[in-house]
Homo-oligomer: A and B are copies of this chain.
Amino acid sequence: MGSEMAPTTARRTPAEEAWAAMRRLLFSQRLDMLGIASEFALSPPQLFALRSLEPDEPAPMSRLAEVLRCDASNVTGIVDRLEDRGLVERRAAPHDRRIKHLVLTADGVGLRTRIAERMDRPPAGFAALTAAEQRELRDLLGKVAAGCDEDRG
């Protein structure tokens, strides 16, 4: 229901058409992502933060700033709230006491697993494709992603 806008140009190249189709999906998936975050009572940054932490792999707070692409000052508050919920812990890095490592608690690992299961599950629309088409789609998207990465350098 009008979740995306009609194109302004009448004539489009195949690339533009493919991109338009993809943007429609992007738009609806953005909403799904908000829905998932909400299911777990997490904000989007909290969700990504939890997702980015591997069990038993302490990571410095600065890495979270990179993952979330936000200023380091924000990480403080985001981690504060995760810590308040008992999902992560701050731990002084042994070799450099300026650095604080983040580690998932047992609760954090559990929630992260449930989140992964929920996020890895393909949306219903993928069932509309045959297995061969799904592989085809995977390969085409892979090529596009590789091309984008290459462009970024």
Q: What is A's interface to B at a CB cutoff of 8 Å?
A: 2-3, 5, 7-9, 13-26, 28-31, 33, 51-52, 66-67, 69, 113, 116, 119-129, 131-138, 140-151
Contacts and interface: CB of A to CB of B under 8 A. Distances in A.
B18 A120 contact: no
Contact of A138 (B9, B18, B128, B133): B18
B5 A135 contact: no
A138 to B, nearest CB: 4
Contacts of A149: 125
B142 A14 contact: no
Given A125-B146, A145-B25, A137 B69 contact: no
25 contacts: A2-B67, A5-B51, A14-B134, A15-B129, A15-B134, A16-B120, A18-B122, A18-B129, A18-B141, A19-B123, A21-B141, A21-B142, A22-B137, A25-B141, A26-B33, A124-B147, A124-B148, A124-B151, A125-B144, A125-B151, A127-B147, A128-B150, A129-B144, A129-B147, A137-B144
